[in-house]
Each structure stands twice: as C-alpha cells, then as structure tokens.
C-alpha cells in the first residue's frame, strides 16, 4: 500500500516538473490562470485522471488475472520494470524516447476538465517511463481504492502544482525552478524506484 502512495507522490512531482511537460502545459496557462486558478487546477487534474486512472485499473486487473495462479511472478515483473526505469532516470540506461516525442501542442476543449483530458493524452508519451512504473506498482496492489487514490495523486501532481504556483509567482520563476531542479528530481525518483524494485525482488525470493 505505502509503496503505491509514495510512488505516486514522487513520480507525480517528477513528471509535473519535467521541462518537456512544462513545454506542453504552457499553452493552457492563459485559459486556467487567474482568480480561479486553484479551482481550475483541481478540475484540470480530474481531467488528467480521466486518462490515467483507467490505465492503472487495466494494469491492476490485467496483472491480477495473468498472475493469479503465480502471484510471485507479478513481483518479479514489478521489480524488473521499477529497476529498469530507475536506471533510466539515473541516466545509467539511455533511451531516445524524449527525441521521439512529437512536440504537438494543440489542445482540444473549452473547460479546465477537457484541457486536462487533452493534456493527459498528449503527455503520455513523455511521461511513459514514469507512468509505466507507477502502473506496474499499483498493478500489484490488492486494494482497488489505493489504486484509484494513487492515480488521483499522480494526476494532480502532474499539472496542478505548476498552475497554482504560476498563478502566484509567475511563469518565468516556475520555468527557472524546473530547469534548475528537474535532474535532481529524476535522481530521487530513480533511487526510489530501484529501492522499490529491490523490495519486490525480496518478496519474489522470500515472500
């Protein structure tokens, strides 16, 4: 349970403060900032969660169905995914997924909720390693409410903090902060994922 919730927080912050995700969310700011920015951020996050929660539920049901007879294999799969993506975030394994992202910033919708859906769909490619890692972790969770809560937390942190903070401090300061600390957040997430992977390996061997 705790690994799902902790992962959703750390991975959500890392994805939300990713420079490329900032590139995608900038076009939304004029439509959601202002006096209602905090409320718009919450509604926006619900739109994002409309995309991410079904993915988490599908992963949870799929893993539980496939590994119902051999649950320990689910721990092995979760360990492998967590460790590999942790190594990617630590830059110890390099992939070209960032270069393959199409920088398309056409958002469809007229409300913070529909903009959230559009943002969720657009950023799946960039946040794929982080999202896949979280889905793999919640897939091993037996409590479905924890699965939903974890994806809600992740969805909120992916976009809402940038909207709220930018409404108070301005977009320029937020951009400077992201550029300065994004790599450090990647390292923290990478170490955390490797530790979670090691925990799942322990469960696979001794559970």
Q: Extract the tokens encoding 33.
A: 């900032």
91-134 confidence digits (pLDDT tens): 786 654 443 444 444 555 568 888 888 888 877 765 667 777 78
pTM: 0.74
For the chain, the structural domain boundaries read 2-206
CA distance 170 to 202: 46
Which residues contact residue 20 at a Cβ distance below 8 angstroms, ignoring those fewer than 6 apart?
98, 101, 126
Across 19-28, 38-47, 80-89, 168-177, least confident range: 19-28
CA distance 120 to 201: 31
What separation, in Å, do the N-terminal and C-terminal C-alpha atoms of the chain show? 16
Q: Extract the tokens encoding 198.
A: 């090691």
């Amino acid at each position: 349970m705790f690994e799902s919730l902790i992962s959703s927080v750390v991975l959500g912050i890392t994805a939300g403060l990713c420079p490329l995700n900032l590139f995608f969310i900038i076009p939304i700011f004029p439509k959601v900032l202002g006096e209602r920015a905090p409320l718009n951020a919450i509604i926006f996050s619900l739109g994002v969660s409309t995309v991410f929660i079904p993915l988490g539920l599908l992963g949870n049901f799929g893993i539980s169905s496939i590994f119902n007879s051999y649950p320990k294999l689910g721990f092995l799969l979760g360990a492998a995914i967590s460790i590999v993506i942790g190594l990617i975030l630590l830059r110890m394994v390099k992939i070209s997924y960032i270069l393959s992202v199409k920088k398309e910033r056409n958002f469809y919708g007229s409300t913070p909720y529909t903009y959230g859906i559009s943002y969720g769909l657009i950023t799946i490619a960039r946040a794929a390693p982080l999202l896949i890692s979280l889905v793999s972790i919640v897939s091993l969770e037996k409590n479905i409410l924890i699965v939903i809560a974890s994806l809600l937390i992740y969805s909120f942190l992916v976009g809402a903090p940038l909207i709220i903070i930018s409404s108070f401090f301005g977009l320029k300061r937020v951009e400077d902060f992201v550029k300065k600390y994004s790599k450090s957040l990647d390292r923290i997430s990478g170490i955390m994922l490797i530790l979670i992977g090691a925990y799942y390996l322990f469960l696979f061997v001794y559970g």
